């Protein structure tokens, strides 16, 4: 069951109906848990067993360890287990399926433990927090399991703080509020638009650039176009999923954390990481970056560098074992270290140029840097990445050898249908990005607007690419 | 809140329903879609050519007409499968005069489904109201039928193709254009601009499996021809020798096709031993079985001579 599929909405509506029939909080939580287990069971029995088993284990371990004095050794034992299980699934999946991006669709063993990358981090963070006595261990098992399995976000996050999530579970609404319904519905619709109308349109070209036996990459221009399109696809796909997850949770009166804050407007790579996949980066910052920086605090700059290296080193392994992920991580390490050294100069330059002109230069520059790193993130192997780099830097063969007018009318490739589809996607993406702030503000307004909802349904139906059936990209992780 | 939601659904439903009807109108009149073209413009063909790109791009009706005197129409369409060919033939017979001969491209690849695509659904979506078309789509693409019940999703399900077709159809209708650029259905292949890279795809085909569904629709085409009194002729374009030699199992499948043809007393022409196959410049772009503009006339003349001598002359003597 792909989030956003018809079955997903049947599950969502069915769960909502039953959820609001009951008044007791415990019953509501049980219904959400049942729905979540049902959702996971669509991917096979392994995700259900893994998720429930790890939840129970972490729940009881934290309780027992807390009672008997939670020592560092105990923390190492449980978190080593969490990490080993996570890595084992990753390793088996990658061994079986090769590249995560070309792996088959849902139903295959590929997603053997759906969402494990996300709920494992949650559990690891939970154990650390209990060990550090930031809060007491959870007393009730049901909300703990629900936090890990909650069906609207289990497959790709956002990563939750168990304590915060359980606070919202403790006061679930008795009736569906208009505000929750309106905001939830609008977020779901905009999420579907981002995924089905925009991101899916880029798939054909992305696959052509990165996966083809006879790759569509012939010039440096193709490599640049491929990397830019992939960054856009990744953003619209992943943030579309987040809108869907947040909107669906809102239907039950649950507020999930935002995971994006207009990252394509970032003026530096560090700003990018403050706006992109926020809950993951917050997790890494809290549990990796700060402890490392604190441990080496006497070394000043070296502490920052070591913290950056460990954060992105672990982040790249979390994404996958491939050498391409490692290079992707290394590039971000380099970007951030260089930026750290140039921080003062950049502030001066900002003042000299005025913020407007500074953003005109550094927003596209940041996008280019991130897109360049994404060449490695998306490449299926080191050989593929090398091939792309060689083509990119072969300046004698950068522009397509066709007249500009031919390019404008027919594009580089010869299927007009795909060309039109791509250009529609790019136009919609740019329009969205231009008005992103206004759109987000409008979507969070609690008053139901008939015309807006009707417009979104019509727009989605007319321009949606429904047949591709690809899963959300971050379900791979 | 619920009233407002209902109103939004009704409003969008009405708009989409109206949009679907308007698109139906234009799509049925889009001459660029062969399925629409044959319902609108009289063809009077004696020979009908059918198949995938090997038919659409490899057989030139003009050469056929010149050499045989029979009016010929090419109903081949790139990327189609036997089920598509069956529906095209069904539609053709519904709206046009019955042809004397049907020339169908049949190759081992016709029975090999690498991407499990059994039907090019978007080619037939304007004719979903026809029971035969509906039933074939329902059998081979049930997910599409499920979605097509929602207003406009009949078109937007295969959005990448349909949106372009709708825009094109609207343009053609607005400009009162009745004919496509190629009136007889032949689409010439592009010049072989990247022919140097040709050797790179002479690879082995793995996991070849004969598709029983393809065979079913192949046999349905034969039955429809027999029922309508049309004489079928099968052929296979010459494959590039390197590819053919790397995949010797292709010969076994050809024998299987030959067996089905002879069961039904249908001639099957294969040209893999011709001299054409040795020179890669005779092939189009990067494909092993599509001929280039250089070799199409040679192949056509060879094929036309064979069917003229063995089928047409034989029939005329009767």
ipTM above 0.85, yes or no: no
Using CB atoms, pick whichever of B1, B16, B160 lies closest to residue A461. B16
Buried/exposed code over B123-144 (b: 16+ C-beta within 10 A; e: otherwise): bbbbbbebeebeebbeebbeeb
Per DSSP, what are the bridge partners of residue B283?
A: B291
* Contact (CB<8Å) A462/B8: no
- Given a contact cutoff of 8 angstroms between Cβ atoms, the answer to whether A85 and A120 are in contact is yes
CA A1/CA A107 separation, integer angstroms: 8
**Is A204's CB within 8 Å of B201's CB?**
no
- Residue (of B303, B309, B315, B301) closest to B234 by Cα position: B303
- Name the closest residue on chain B to residue A402, using Cα atoms: B193
Chain A residues whose CB is inside 8 A of the B9 CB are 454, 457
Instruction: Report the residue from A214, A424, A453 with minimal CB separation from B201.
Output: A214
Rounded to whole angstroms, the Cα distance separating A376 from A392 reads: 13
Which strands form B47-50's sheet, in the order they lie side by side?
Answer: B72-74, B47-50, B101-105, B231-236, B268-270
Residues in contact with B282: Cβ distance below 8 Å, sequence separation at least 6, in sequence order = B240, B276, B291, B292, B294, B295, B298
Cβ within 8 Å, pair A458-B144: no
Residue A92, C-beta contacts closer than 8 angstroms, at least 6 positions apart: A112
Put simply, whether the predicted model's pTM sits higher than 0.90 gets the answer: no
Contacts of A4 in chain B (CB under 8 A): none
Instruction: Determine the distance in angstroms separating the CA of B169 from the nearest CA of chain A, rounded to an integer.
Output: 13
Query: Distance between alpha carbon B205 and the CA centroid of its chain, in Å?
Result: 23
CB < 8 Å to A214, chain B: 197, 200-201, 286
Provide DSSP, B162-176.
HHHHHHHHHHHHHTT
Tell me the pLDDT of chain A (477 aa) as tens digits.
Answer: 788 788 899 999 999 999 999 999 999 999 999 999 999 998 888 889 999 999 999 999 999 888 888 888 989 999 999 999 988 888 777 766 655 555 544 444 445 678 888 999 999 999 999 999 888 998 899 999 999 999 998 888 799 888 889 888 988 999 999 999 999 999 999 999 999 999 998 988 888 888 765 556 778 888 999 999 999 999 999 999 999 999 999 999 999 999 999 999 999 999 999 999 999 999 999 999 999 999 998 888 899 999 999 999 999 988 888 899 999 999 999 999 999 999 999 999 999 999 999 999 999 999 999 999 999 999 888 988 998 899 899 888 888 777 777 777 766 665 778 888 889 999 999 999 999 999 999 998 889 999 999 999 999 999 998 877 666 666 766
Nearest Cα residue to A418 out of A102, A209, A196, A205: A205
Cβ contact (<8 Å) for A462 and B161? no
Q: Which residues contact A125 (CB under 8 A, 6 or more apart)?
A: A159, A161, A162, A283, A286, A287
Residues of B with CB under 8 A from a CB of A: 1, 4-5, 7-9, 11-12, 15-16, 19, 144, 146-147, 150-153, 156-161, 163-165, 167, 190, 197, 200-201, 203, 286
Mutate to test the interface with A, among B12, B166, B180 (most CBs of A within 10 A): B12
Q: Give me the sign of the Cα torsion angle A114, A117, A122, A126.
A: positive
* Distance (Å) from the alpha carbon of B48 to chain A's nearest alpha carbon: 26
Domain ranges for chain A: 6-175, 180-476
Q: How far apart are CA A465 and CA B157, in angstroms?
A: 6
pLDDT greater than 70 at residue B196:
no
From first CA to last CA, the distance across chain B in angstroms is 78
Chosen for mutation from A450, A451, A465 (greatest number of chain B CBs closer than 10 Å) is A450
Spatial distance between the Cα atoms of A418 and A205, rounded to a whole number of angstroms: 8
Taking the C-alpha atoms of residue B300 and residue B285, their distance in angstroms, rounded to an integer, is 19
Closest residue in B to A415 (Cα–Cα): B161
Of the candidates A40, A277, A15, A255, the residue with the CA atom closest to the CA atom of residue A158: A277
How many residues are there in chain B? 318
Asked if the C-beta of A383 comes within 8 angstroms of chain B's C-beta atoms, the answer is: no
How far lies A359's CA from each of A225, A272, A347, in Å? 22, 13, 12
* Residues of chain B contacting A202 with CB distance shorter than 8 Å: none
Q: A51: which residues sit within 8 A by CB, 6+ positions away?
A: A40, A113, A114, A115, A116, A119, A145, A148, A149, A154
Mention every residue, 6+ apart, whose C-beta is less than 8 A from residue B7.
A450, A454
Show residues of chain A in contact with B160, CB under 8 Å. Answer: 201, 204, 417-418, 421, 465
Of A331, A424, A438, the C-alpha closest to A379 is: A331
Are the Cβ atoms of A181 and B1 closer than 8 angstroms? Answer: yes
B8, B161, B197 ranked by CB distance to A453: nearest: B8
B151/A461 Cβ within 8 A? yes
Q: Are B28 and B41 in contact (CB under 8 A)?
A: no
Segments making up each domain of chain B, as ranges: 25-317
Q: Do A466 and B163 touch (CB under 8 A)?
A: no
Options 3.40.50.2300, 3.90.1150.10, 2.70.98.60, 3.40.50.1110; CATH of B25-317? 3.40.50.1110
């Amino acid at each position: 069951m792909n989030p956003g599929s018809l079955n997903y909405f049947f599950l969502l509506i069915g769960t909502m109906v039953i959820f609001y029939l009951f008044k007791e909080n415990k019953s509501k939580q049980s219904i959400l848990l049942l729905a979540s287990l049902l959702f996971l069971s669509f991917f096979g029995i392994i995700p259900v067993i893994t998720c429930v088993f790890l939840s129970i284990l972490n729940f009881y371990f934290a309780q027992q360890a807390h009672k008997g004095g939670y020592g560092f050794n105990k923390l190492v034992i449980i978190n080593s287990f969490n990490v080993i299980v996570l890595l084992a699934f990753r390793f088996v999946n990658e061994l079986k399926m090769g590249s995560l991006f070309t792996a088959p669709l849902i139903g295959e063993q590929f997603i053997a433990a759906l969402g494990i990358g996300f709920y494992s981090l949650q559990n690891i963070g939970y154990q650390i927090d209990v060990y550090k006595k930031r809060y007491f261990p959870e007393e009730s098992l049901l909300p703990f399991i629900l936090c890990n399995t909650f069906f609207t976000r289990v497959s790709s996050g956002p990563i939750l703080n168990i304590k915060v999530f359980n606070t919202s579970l403790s006061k679930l609404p008795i009736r569906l509020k208009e505000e929750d319904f309106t905001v939830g519905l609008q977020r779901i619709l905009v999420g579907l638009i981002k995924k089905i109308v925009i991101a899916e349109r880029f798939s054909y070209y992305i696959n052509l650039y990165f996966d083809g036996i006879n790759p569509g990459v012939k010039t440096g221009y193709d490599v640049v176009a491929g990397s830019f399109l992939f960054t856009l696809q990744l953003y619209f796909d992943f943030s579309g999923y987040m809108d869907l997850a947040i909107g669906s949770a809102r239907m039950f009166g649950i507020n999930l954390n935002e995971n994006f804050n207009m990252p394509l407007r970032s003026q530096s790579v560090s700003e990018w990481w403050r706006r992109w996949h926020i809950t993951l980066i917050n997790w890494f910052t809290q549990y990796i970056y700060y402890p490392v920086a604190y441990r080496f605090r006497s070394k000043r700059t070296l502490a920052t560098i070591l913290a950056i290296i460990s954060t992105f080193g672990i982040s790249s392994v979390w994404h996958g074992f491939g050498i391409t992920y490692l290079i992707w991580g290394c590039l971000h390490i380099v970007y951030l270290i260089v930026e750290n050294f140039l921080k003062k100069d950049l502030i001066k330059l900002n003042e000299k140029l005025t913020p407007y002109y500074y953003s005109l230069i550094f927003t596209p520059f940041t996008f280019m840097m991130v897109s360049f790193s994404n060449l490695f993130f998306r490449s299926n192997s080191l050989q593929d990445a090398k091939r792309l780099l060689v083509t990119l830097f072969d300046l004698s063969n950068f522009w397509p050898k066709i007249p500009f007018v031919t390019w404008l009318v027919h594009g580089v490739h010869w299927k007009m249908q795909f060309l039109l589809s791509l250009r529609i996607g790019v136009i919609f993406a740019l329009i969205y990005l231009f008005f992103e702030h206004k759109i987000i503000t409008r979507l969070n307004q609690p008053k139901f607007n008939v015309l807006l909802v009707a417009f979104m349904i019509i727009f989605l139906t007319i321009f949606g690419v429904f047949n591709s059936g690809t899963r959300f990209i971050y379900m791979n992780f | 809140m619920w009233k407002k939601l209902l109103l939004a659904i009704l409003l969008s439903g009405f708009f989409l329903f109206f949009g679907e009807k308007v698109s139906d109108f234009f799509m049925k009149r889009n001459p660029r879609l062969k399925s629409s073209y044959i319902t609108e413009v009289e063809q009077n063909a004696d020979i009908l050519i059918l198949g995938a790109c090997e038919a659409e791009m490899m057989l030139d009706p003009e050469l056929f007409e010149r050499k045989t005197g029979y009016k010929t129409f090419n109903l081949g369409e790139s990327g189609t499968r036997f089920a598509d060919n069956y529906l095209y033939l069904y539609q053709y017979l519904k709206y046009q005069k019955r042809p004397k001969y049907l020339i169908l491209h049949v190759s081992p690849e016709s029975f090999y489904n690498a991407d499990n695509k059994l039907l090019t659904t978007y080619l037939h979506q304007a004719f979903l109201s026809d029971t035969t078309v509906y039933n074939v789509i329902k059998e081979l693409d049930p997910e599409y039928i499920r979605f097509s019940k929602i207003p406009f999703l009949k078109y937007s399900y295969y959005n990448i193709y349909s949106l372009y077709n709708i825009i094109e159809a609207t343009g053609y209708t607005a400009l009162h254009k009745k004919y496509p650029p190629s009136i007889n259905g032949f689409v010439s292949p592009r010049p072989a601009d990247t022919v140097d890279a040709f050797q790179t795809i002479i690879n082995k085909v793995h996991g070849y499996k004969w598709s029983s569904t393809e065979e079913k629709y192949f046999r349905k085409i034969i039955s429809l021809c027999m029922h309508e009194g049309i004489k079928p002729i099968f052929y296979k374009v010459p494959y590039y020798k390197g590819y053919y030699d790397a995949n010797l199992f292709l010969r076994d499948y050809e024998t299987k096709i030959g067996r089905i043809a002879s069961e039904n007393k249908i001639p099957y022409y294969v040209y893999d031993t011709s001299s054409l196959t040795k020179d890669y410049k005779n092939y189009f772009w990067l494909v092993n079985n599509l001929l280039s503009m250089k070799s199409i006339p040679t192949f056509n003349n060879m094929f036309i001579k064979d069917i003229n001598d063995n089928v047409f002359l034989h029939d005329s003597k009767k």
